[in-house]
Amino acid sequence: MISLDKVFSYIDSAFEAHLEETRAFIRQPSISADGTGIQEMAALVASRVCELGGEAEVIPTAGHPVVYGHVDVGAPSTLLVYGMYDVQPVLGESWRVPPFSGEIVDLDGFGPCMVSRGIMNSKGPLAGFFNAMQSLRETAGTLPANLKFVVEGEEELGSRNLPSFVRAHKTLLEADGCFFPFYSQDLTGKVVMYLGVKGLVFMELVARGGSWGGPTTRDVHGMNAVWFHSPAWSLTQALSTMLSQDQKHILIEELDDMVAPPSAEDMALLERLASSFDETTQMKDYEVERFKYNLRGVDLLRQFLYRPSLNINGLVSGHHEEGMKTVLPHEARAKIDVRLVPDMQPEEVVRQVRRHLDRRGFEHIELRVQSGYPWSKSSVSDAANAPMLKTYQELGYEPEIWPLVSGAAPFYLFTQALNMPIAMGGLGHGGRQHSPNEYATVEGMRQFEKSAAAYVVHFANHFAQRGAS
């Protein structure tokens, strides 16, 4: 029997060394958008698997490689750990410290924090998981469960090549459950437990001059706008047909036909969630002053979790630097995403967006799909989430349980393609992911390691008890 008290004491005594291990992850850039440091980061992840006494391989894909690892200790249960080693770019951002430094600074209201790209999302939790497993080995001499790792380098690109990797290696990835390590405490210290994720379709719309009108090969003088059509106006007009003026309603009519209403179990979770949901904390966390919906409680949560969203991520055309330059652009581009809820499927969403554009006279606008995957849901009582819930409760937390999180991740590959439950989480608080001064509290990082160790122990015990019965 593994003594978690001994494991926790070891983590406390070794934590300064663990911070350095985390810094090694953070200080290695791994920007998937341009490939900076990707190969080096993949090798670093593989080396941590080997340090646990396992074997690891950096397996090429059509894009960035996937790290596969296996630590076989002869245990009756196997946990598959999913992670990503890539991060968002930092170009044009203003940081308090160098963005790949792993420096610890005092942030107002949080105390000592490690500030760096990837510390929250999600190289910090991945490094913390490795630290926790090393702590288990040092105190117990072994691990309570076999571990497999699948760590990708394209999550920030929409996990483009992970589906083909999973399909090609289904036997290799067989396990009893899957775990995604992530900091799950909010600004107040409350633990939030998510049981699923939305899906995602990421598209680029491109309007160019052509037979419909507009300059075809180059920008021309803005005075010619009286003569020629503008791709920039065409694109913005097309975008304006997709969302109501108050930004509350998607106007691509067929999307509503795909949306499944929340189940009775979902509504029961929403009712419980509404009793503890803190709207003020959410607004403070995101530095906004109001929600766009005049809703509260269950109705606001239902809108957030069980309605799709349409977002413009970027919009560019013509001259956008300082100063004047009167041009009629020959091209305009917009990057948009649709977040998918049950039962929406990516391929059908793309078809309906295309139909919407064509019906309104925008056949000339090119639609490029860059990524797409469906939603995923699990149960609080399954073999992955039940040990997570027990971990939180044993450490003194009663989590706020959400049926879904509005963010997207390729969890469907585990729940659908591999037919295994998946849990995400762990103690710890971080924030500003995808933004300057991304951070995690140092004390939260310590608590995360303890919760990760406890989770793997409870996961193993869950299967041992099931086998005994």
**Domain boundaries, given as residue ranges, for the chain:** 4-195+378-468, 199-259+307-373, 263-299
pLDDT in tens, 346-405: 999 999 999 999 999 999 999 999 888 899 988 899 999 999 999 999 999 999 999 888
Task: Give the separation between CA 272 and CA 279, rounded to whole angstroms.
Answer: 15
* Cβ-proximal residues to 257 (8 Å cutoff; 6+ apart), any chain: none
Going by the DSSP 8-state scheme, the letter that residue 191 receives in this structure is: B
Q: Do the domains spanning 4-195+378-468 and 199-259+307-373 agree at the CATH topology level?
A: no
Does domain 4-195+378-468 correspond to CATH entry 3.40.630.10?
Answer: yes
Query: Taking residues 293-312, what's their average pLDDT?
Result: 90
Rounded to the nearest 10 degrees, how much is the dihedral formed by the CA atoms of 77, 78, 79, 82?
-170
pLDDT digits (tens, 9 = 90+) for 93-151: 999 999 999 999 999 889 999 999 999 999 999 999 999 999 999 999 999 999 999 99
What letter would DSSP give residue 77? -
Residue 241's pLDDT is what?
A: 98
Mean pLDDT, to the nearest integer, of 156-182? Answer: 95
Chain-wide mean pLDDT for the chain?
A: 94
Q: Is the dihedral of CA 141, 144, 150, 153 positive or negative?
A: negative
Q: How far is CA 219 from CA 98, 109, 235, 317, 327, in A?
A: 38, 50, 16, 10, 6
CATH number of 199-259+307-373: 3.30.70.360
Give pLDDT, residue 282. Answer: 83
pTM of the complete model: 0.86
pLDDT digits 0-9 by tens, 319-333: 888 899 999 999 999
Per-residue pLDDT for 468 more than 60?
no
Q: Are 382 and 421 in contact (CB under 8 A)?
A: yes
| 467 pLDDT above the threshold of 80 | no
Q: Where does the pLDDT of residue 293 fall: very low under 50, low under 70, confident under 90, or very high at 90 and above?
A: confident
- Given pLDDT bands bounded at 50, 70 and 90, which one contains residue 427? very high
Average the pLDDT over 169-186 and give the result. Answer: 96
